[in-house]
Structure 1
């Protein structure tokens, strides 16, 4: 399969999301609850198609830790192949087998970034405290409310991600891992330690759409393709059986290029939370 062929599949997925967005938005005012449910199901179906086939995808519910802690309701959950089929229909998801959590929005707003960043931090901290386990936590949206100018919209989202992380996250492992806006771009978390370049300690930042982003860029590196490739690479660190697929997507160029500004760097020297280690997501 050529690079362009694989990319074209994600271009098609992007177009399908845009069509669904227009359909759902037309009904949002009269029935916002159903519109939200349909949006979540759009993303659940996409994840079923593009994440490894043995990962089980379910919607709604809460994550239940073995110590009795239960998270707030989440939209979509990716569960390990070991998850009991008898529990798939239940709405309390066993934390030990949760691989990733996805919050889904039809139209992304600034408040959604704040809410999801805070939820990600609390959920990841609770699961680690109970199970010594790291999970992925992402925010996905069909579209956004940050204006028609794609460059300015991307800049606004980048600033919001930075301020939200400073306000709600005390440990780098508890950061929101990615944001994907299907018709705009993807932002993925990075962490680096390079004393010569950054100085002491470590830094984190989000690699967002290319600096000269335009709506046409979604056709070169579809945001959905970048998000899926990043999720695969992160999962493959903990589950080696996914490394082949992760490597293929990466070699096909689906991770694409990204940009970041030094103003959005966050330097970490002292960590809050229950752990002193850092899972570097470079």
Structure 2
């Protein structure tokens, strides 16, 4: 990854667009090697939804759903229902990118279709999103800058589904967006109120594992929501790498903002049977 970044930086002086494409190709190659073959990876695709009013826009990398037909994967436009995850890529991450990426993620959430009869459909976007970069211009504490930047844009978001799911700067660190479905008053401090929660977790990094390893395991966890085989692998690798154990700043959401009114009539179906919140 570091060598590819150096090569792209040299190209950047001569051809900015080409250097950006080289950076995208590096991440696409990584994803192709680490994801099961049935998924597949595409570069610079236009994601289209069922609503003609929403204009399709270019996305740097898409991961295809395993069921998405092979002959459709080569087209410039891909259907939102066939996208398992989408990524925006920069060679060098800068603070100015955070708001831009947040807007892109929200647009994809609006484009995607979700099953509103489930907790996941009420809380999450139909297309998980991620921001990837080789390096950064974020100062001496890049992970702190990443967390603070995405916490800031989360504070201005209108719904948890709009938030970017994964952030990885290869030579710095990885963030994952954790969402808790519902925390009733009885599980919080006396005098508190019910709330839904989101937080960007900064991955703890054991000495032998780096940001990219944590990103891959985190991606398995995200895709594992709909793929039991990846879910099993994510659990095993999380135990090895410590991925999923991190610190973050909590944002509280009013459940009335997050869930449809009818969905809140029996709030305890938002929890597991033992009363624990569902984490995504």
Aligned residue-pair number: 253
Q: How does 1:22-171 map to 2 (within 5 A)?
A: 22-68=6-52, 69-128=54-113, 134-147=126-139, 149=140, 152-167=141-156, 169-171=157-159
Structure 1 residues 40-49 or 228-237, which shifts more?
A: 228-237
Cα gap change, 1:134/1:256 in structure 2, threshold over 3 Å: closer, same or farther? closer
Q: 1:206 is matched with which residue: 194, 197, 200?
A: 200
Cα gap change, 1:188/1:126 in structure 2, threshold over 3 Å: closer, same or farther? same
Q: Distance in 1 between matches of 2:260 and 2:27?
A: 32
- Pairwise CA distance, 1:60: 0.3
Structure 1 residues 248-257 or 229-238, which shifts more?
A: 248-257
- Pairwise CA distance, 1:153: 2.2
Q: Which has the higher helix share?
A: 1
Aligned twin of 2:250:
265
- Pairwise CA distance, 1:239: 2.0
Q: Distance in 2 between matches of 1:275 and 1:111?
A: 34
Cα shift readout 1:135-174 (whole Å, capped 9, x = no counterpart): 2100010010012x2xx2222221111112223x211122
TM-score in terms of structure 1 length? 0.81
Unmatched tracts of structure 2, length 5 or more: 264-269, 271-276
TM-score in terms of structure 2 length? 0.81
Cα gap change, 1:159/1:61 in structure 2, threshold over 3 Å: closer, same or farther? same
- Pairwise CA distance, 1:219: 4.6
Q: Which has the higher strand share?
A: 2
Q: Which runs of 4+ in 1 moved over 6 A?
A: 129-133, 276-279
Cα shift readout 1:34-91 (whole Å, capped 9, x = no counterpart): 0000000000000001112210100002111122334321000001122222222211
Q: Distance in 1 between matches of 2:10 and 2:31?
A: 24
- Pairwise CA distance, 1:124: 1.2
Q: Distance in 2 between matches of 1:178 and 1:18?
A: 20
Q: Indicate if the aligned counterparts of 2:203 and 2:244 stay in contact, CA closer than 8 A.
A: no
- Pairwise CA distance, 1:20: 0.8
Aligned twin of 2:266:
none
